[in-house]
Amino acid sequence: MRTFFATLLIGLLSAAPVMAKPVTYKLDPNHTQIRVVWNHFGFSNPDANFTHITGTLVYDAADPAKSSVKVDIPLSGLDTHVTKLDEHLKGADFFNVAKFPTAHFVSTKVTPAGKDKLTVDGNLSVHGVTKPVTLHVTVNKVGIQPMLKAPAAGFDATTTLKRSDFGVGAYAPMVSDEVKVHITVEALGAEAYAKMQKMMKGE
């Protein structure tokens, strides 16, 4: 009888779902990008990309509230596809990259917002100014990255910011103060990230 109950208990434990644990990922700068869009005198809606983004993301699929993200955005990676405009935006009128080379985002709260949806509150620091920002996040996929055969996670996020809040509101309102922001993130487990870095260096 004792053996029967022991066998039954082992069977029940084996059948029980394994609770997910928080997983730490590194942002893959090759597949992570921020795109901002603004309005120019009412005529057009140009955009700019920010690349070479790095950071750490902790994601708990079972309890998303335990998740967090910390991101560094080098403003040297700003690219509008117009060289003169890039130079202007990186200059003293706007980002003043020589003095403030990097923007930062650090989450303060993650809240589930429906199936594969999250709300991420955090602090964004740009141009020496830190302001609270809310990101509306979609969980694209969490699983095994087929090329590296390693854990990976992907997210998209959107928000709207006012340039003037961060001291970069030159030419508003003719050039819109509000900018729409779209973020796409691919993040890798630590071992896969290290492997990817070696691949990029040809090692």
- Render pLDDT for 102-155 as a digit per residue (tens, 0 to 9): 999 999 999 999 999 999 999 999 999 999 999 999 999 999 989 888 899 999
- Return the SS3 of 193: helix
pLDDT computed for residue 4 by the predictor: 47
* HSE, side-chain direction, 13 A CA sphere, residue 52: 9
User: Would the pLDDT of 5 be above 80?
Assistant: no
Across residues 56-83, what is the average pLDDT?
96
pLDDT computed for residue 37 by the predictor: 98
pLDDT computed for residue 147 by the predictor: 86
**Number of helices and strands in the chain (H, E):** 3, 11
Find out whether 193 and 201 touch, Cβ atoms under 8 Å: no
Question: pLDDT per residue over 24-65, tens digit each?
Answer: 999 999 999 999 999 999 999 999 999 999 999 999 999 999
Could you tell me the residue ranges of all domains in the chain?
24-201
pLDDT computed for residue 20 by the predictor: 59
Question: pLDDT per residue over 141-193, tens digit each?
Answer: 999 989 888 899 999 999 999 999 999 999 999 999 999 999 999 999 877 77
Q: How far apart are alpha carbons 183 and 33 in whole angstroms?
A: 6
Q: How many CB atoms within 10 Å of residue 42? A: 10
- CATH code assigned to 24-201: 2.40.128.110
CA–CA distance from 178 to each of 92, 168, 173 (Å)?
20, 11, 9
